[in-house]
C-alpha cells in the first residue's frame, strides 16, 4: 500500500527534468498522474515510465500559459481520472537578462508562466474542490487535498540577471499563502517548494554549443557558464547541486499525509545554500 494509493495528481511540465521526477515519485507511491508537456514525445516517455512503475496516467499536452489550458488540464483529471487530490504547479523556464535589456514581452512571459498559469489552474480546479469538500463533509468524511507550487531561491532572495524570473517566482509564493488561507476550510494544504541549484538542462554547463529550448515560437537559451556553476557548487554547503529526484523528494513531503497540518509554508530545497 502506497501513501498515495487512489490519489490523482496533476503535474505541469512533467515531460522532462524535475517535473518528470515529481511525476515518477508520486506514481511510485500509488498516485495516478495527469502529465503535461509542450511536446508529445517526452510526455509519452513519462507515461511509459509511470506504467512501468505500476501506476497509470493521462496526458494533457499544451502550453500552461495558453487561454483555456487550465480548464482542459483540470477536465482531464476530473473526467478521465475521476477527481483531483494533488496539484503540482511545476512548469516554467528562465529567460534571463539584466534589467535594461529586459523587454516587456520577456518580463510578461516570466510572470505568465510562473504566476498566472498556476493561478489559472487553481482557479479552474476550485469548483471541483469546493463541491467535493462540501459533499465529503456531509458524508462525515475528511480528505486532505494538496497543492504544491514551485518557486525558487531567486523568488525568495532575488538573483542578478533574473528580474523577471525572480518576480514570477516571488509572486507564486504570494499565491500560495493567500490560497492557504482561502482553502483551509476545504481541507486543502497549499504549500510551496523553492529550489536552489538543481541539475537540469536549465543549469547544465554551457559548452561549445548552448542548449536551446523551444517555447511556442520562441527559442530560449539554457545553461550556465562553467566557472559560475563551479562557484555555485562551492557555495552550497552540501557541495553540489541537487538531482531532479532529490527535488521531487521535497515536493513529495508536501503531498503525503504526514504534512496534513502544514499549510502556507515555503520549503527551501537548496542543499543548505541561502543567498
Q: Residues with catalytic annotation?
A: 165
Rounded CA separation 160/168 (Å): 14
Cβ-count burial 128-157 (b if 16+ within 10 Å, e if not): bbeebbeeeeeeeeeebbbbbbbbbbbbbe
Distance from C-alpha of 30 to C-alpha of 232, rounded to nearest angstrom = 36
- Please, which residues bridge with residue 10 across strands? 34, 87
C-alpha cell at 202: 536549465
Q: Which of 197, 170, 218, 205 is nearest to 38 (CA)?
A: 218
Max CA distance (Å), the chain: 62
Task: Measure the CA–CA gap between 15 and 34, rounded to whole angstroms.
Answer: 11
Q: Which DSSP category does 239 fall into? A: S
Cell of 171: 509572486
- Do the Cβ atoms of 164 and 107 come closer than 8 Å? yes
CA 121 to chain centroid, in Å, comes to 12
CA distance 34 to 161: 34
Amino acid at each position: 500500500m502506497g501513501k498515495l494509493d487512489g490519489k490523482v495528481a496533476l503535474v505541469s511540465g512533467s515531460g522532462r527534468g524535475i517535473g518528470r521526477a515529481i511525476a515518477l515519485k508520486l506514481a511510485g507511491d500509488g498516485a495516478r498522474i495527469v502529465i503535461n508537456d509542450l511536446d508529445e514525445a517526452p510526455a509519452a516517455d513519462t507515461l511509459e515510465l509511470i506504467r512501468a512503475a505500476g501506476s497509470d496516467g493521462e496526458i494533457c499536452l499544451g502550453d500552461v500559459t495558453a487561454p483555456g489550458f487550465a480548464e482542459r488540464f483540470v477536465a482531464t483529471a476530473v473526467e478521465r481520472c475521476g477527481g483531483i487530490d494533488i496539484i503540482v504547479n511545476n512548469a516554467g523556464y528562465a529567460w534571463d537578462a539584466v534589467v535594461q535589456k529586459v523587454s516587456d514581452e520577456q518580463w510578461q512571459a516570466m510572470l505568465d508562466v510562473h504566476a498566472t498559469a498556476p493561478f489559472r489552474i487553481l482557479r479552474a480546479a476550485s469548483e471541483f474542490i469546493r463541491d467535493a469538500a462540501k459533499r465529503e463533509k456531509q458524508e462525515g468524511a475528511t480528505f486532505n487535498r494538496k497543492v504544491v507550487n514551485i518557486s525558487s531561491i531567486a523568488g525568495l532572495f532575488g538573483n542578478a540577471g533574473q528580474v523577471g524570473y525572480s518576480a514570477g517566482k516571488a509572486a507564486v509564493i504570494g499565491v500560495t499563502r493567500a490560497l492557504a488561507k482561502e482553502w483551509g476550510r476545504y481541507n486543502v494544504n497549499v504549500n510551496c517548494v523553492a529550489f536552489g541549484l538543481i541539475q537540469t538542462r536549465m543549469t547544465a554547463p554551457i559548452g561549445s554549443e548552448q542548449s536551446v529550448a523551444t517555447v511556442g515560437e520562441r527559442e530560449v537559451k539554457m545553461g550556465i557558464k562553467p566557472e559560475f556553476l563551479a562557484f555555485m557548487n562551492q557555495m552550497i554547503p552540501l557541495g553540489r547541486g541537487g538531482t531532479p529526484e532529490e527535488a521531487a523528494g521535497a515536493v513529495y513531503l508536501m503531498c503525503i499525509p504526514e504534512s496534513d497540518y502544514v499549510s502556507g509554508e515555503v520549503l527551501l530545497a537548496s542543499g543548505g545554500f541561502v543567498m
